Amino acid sequence: MKLIVENLEKKFGKKEVLKGINFTFEKGKIYGLLGRNGAGKTTFFNCLNEDIDIDNGNLLIEDDTNNKRKLEVVDIGYVVSTPTVPEFLTGREFLKFFLEINEKKIDNIKTIDEYFDFMKIDKEDRDKLLKDYSHGMKNKMQMLVNIIAKPNILLLDEPLTSLDVVVAEEMKQMLKEIKKDHIIIFSTHIMDLALSLCDDIVILNNGILEQIDRNNLDDIEMKNKIISALKEEENV
The tens place of each residue's pLDDT in the chain, 236 residues long, gives 999 999 999 999 999 999 999 999 999 999 999 888 778 999 999 999 999 999 999 999 999 899 999 999 999 999 887 888 999 999 999 999 999 999 888 888 999 999 999 988 999 999 999 999 988 889 889 989 998 998 999 999 887 766 678 878 888 898 999 999 999 999 987 778 888 889 999 999 889 998 887 666 666 666 666 666 666 544 34
Contact between residue 186 and residue 31 where contact means Cβ atoms under 8 Å apart: yes
Please state the domain count of the chain: 1
Domain-embedded: residue 21: yes
Domain-embedded: residue 67: yes
- Give the CATH number for residue 59: 3.40.50.300
**Structural domain containing residue 204:** 2-87+150-231
- Classified as helix, coil or strand, 49 is coil
Contact between residue 71 and residue 225 where contact means Cβ atoms under 8 Å apart: no
> pTM of the prediction?
0.87
Q: Angle, nearest 10°, between helix axes 91-101 and 135-148?
A: 20
Domain-embedded: residue 141: no
Which residue type does 44 have?
Answer: F
Domain-embedded: residue 205: yes
Number of other residues whose CB lies within 10 A of the CB of residue 63: 12
Which residue type does 143 have?
Answer: M
Work out whether strand 30-34 and strand 200-205 pair parallel, antiparallel, or are unpaired. Answer: parallel
* First CA to last CA distance, the chain: 32
Domain-embedded: residue 206: yes
